[in-house]
């Protein structure tokens, strides 16, 4: 079922989400300061390509206050708009019965885009 959901997701726009995060990550990695944020974009791109069957969990190791500071910087300088985009598409897709599974995946991406530092993908 995850394979079918991922195929439909890719055909109906998931590939665009993947390329947007991939290009954003490459642009951020062009600067030394942006490399940690670019890596997080690559993490979101992986989930954006095939979100069905992917679990997002908090990391088991203690990152201290660094991940909190990085999440705040991420949210202030662009993460807010990414979260709003996924929230909009999640609500829009959940208005129809057919779109509910895809809306839930947008909510999963919204959770990851809200605080990408300190999360792991499994």
Q: Of 96, 110, 94, 93, which is closest to residue 47 (Cα–Cα)?
A: 110
Q: What is the pLDDT of residue 13?
A: 86
- What are the mean pLDDT values of the chain's consecutive 10-residue runs (122 residues total)? 91 90 94 93 92 86 79 91 92 92 93 89 86
Q: Of 80, 67, 73, which is closest to residue 110 (Cα–Cα)?
A: 80
- Per the structure, the complete domain to which residue 42 belongs is given by 2-121
Q: What is the pLDDT of residue 63?
A: 67
Q: Cα(first)–Cα(last) distance of the chain, in Å?
A: 17
pTM, two decimals, is: 0.87
- What is the count of structural domains for the chain? 1
């Amino acid at each position: 079922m995850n394979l079918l959901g991922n195929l439909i997701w890719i055909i109906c726009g998931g590939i665009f989400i993947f390329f947007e995060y991939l290009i954003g990550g490459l642009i951020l990695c062009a600067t030394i300061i942006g490399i940690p944020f670019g890596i997080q974009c690559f993490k979101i791109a992986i989930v954006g390509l095939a979100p069905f069957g992917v679990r997002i969990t908090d990391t088991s190791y203690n990152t201290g206050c660094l991940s909190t500071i990085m999440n705040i910087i991420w949210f202030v300088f662009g993460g807010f708009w990414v979260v709003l985009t996924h929230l909009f598409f999640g609500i829009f897709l959940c208005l129809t019965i057919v779109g509910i599974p895809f809306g839930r995946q947008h909510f999963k991406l919204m959770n990851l885009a809200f605080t990408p530092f300190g999360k792991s993908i499994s």
